[in-house]
Structure 1
Amino acid sequence: MRIDKIKIMVVMAKQGLNQLQLAEKTGMSRGNLSTIVNGKRCKVETVIKIATALGVDYSELLEEKEA
């Protein structure tokens, strides 16, 4: 799975969070979070962990599949 960079950045901005703050909320390293935000594939469990920390449904963070 991949997280859509624009979608997660919008949610983070609305909540006034930067990557370091989000990393702390998820228990992940900032470096690991950064690579995921920038397009690296990750497990569904990781997406759920990030979405939970942001208080959104994980599907709101996923990339749209191209037709």
Structure 2
Amino acid sequence: MNLSVSKLLLAMANACITVTELAEQSGLSRPALTKFTTGKTNPKPATIGKIAKALNVRVEDLIEG
């Protein structure tokens, strides 16, 4: 399962949320989220779940494919 950077950024834009705000709402660190949004690292499925929950979207809306 790979996180789609473009889908993540789109979901963040739709929610009008910054990386810092997403970090606070998801319980993840800002540096980790920065790595995800730049495509340097792919998060574990549970982490994708935390991101999806914070953005109020389905996991399927954030993964490639």
Identify the TM-score tier after normalising by the shorter chain: 0.7 to 0.9
- TM-score using structure 1 length: 0.85
Gaps of 5+ in 2: none
In the aligned structure 1, how far is the partner of 2:16 from the partner of 2:55? Answer: 11
Shift of 1:37: 2.1
Larger Rg: 1
2:17 is paired with a residue of what secondary structure?
A: coil
Deviations 1:12-31 (A, max 9, x none): 11111011110110111111
- Deviating above 2 A after TM superposition, structure 1's stretches of 4 or more consecutive aligned residues are none
TM-score norm. by structure 2 comes to 0.87
The whole-number CA distance in structure 1 between the counterparts of 2:64 and 2:19 is 19
Report the identity percentage: 34
User: Residue 2 of structure 1: CA displacement?
Assistant: 2.4
Letter in 1 for 2:23: A
Match of 1:45 in 2: 46
